[in-house]
Amino acid sequence: MAGFSIVNYVKASYDELVHKVTWPTWSELQNSTVVVGVATLLIALVVYVMDLSFQTIMEYIYSIFH
């Protein structure tokens, strides 16, 4: 690997993070956090309802054969 070094990699990474990356504003970050939180709660609720439904169905099936 000609010309490759860890030092060059770190310098290039730092340059990209400082000069090329567009970081979100505090307001954008807060809005994104709220969106992620709401989406997480909705997905958790859907999984809970599915789990409860399957549990009820399986208990009914087991009660038939018991």
Please write the tens of the pLDDT for every residue from 39-48: 999 999 999 9
Helix (H) or strand (E) holding 10: helix 6-15
Closest CA to 19 of 11, 27, 8, 30: 11
What pLDDT does residue 66 have?
A: 80
- Round to whole Å and give the CA distance between 41 and 65: 36
Domain residue spans of the chain: 25-66
- Round to whole Å and give the CA distance between 59 and 37: 33
Whether pLDDT at 2 is above 60: no
* Distance separating the N- and C-terminal Cα atoms of the chain: 69
Averaged confidence pLDDT in the chain: 93
pLDDT above 90 as % of the chain: 91
pLDDT tens digits, one per residue of 3-36: 679 999 999 999 999 999 999 999 999 999 999 9
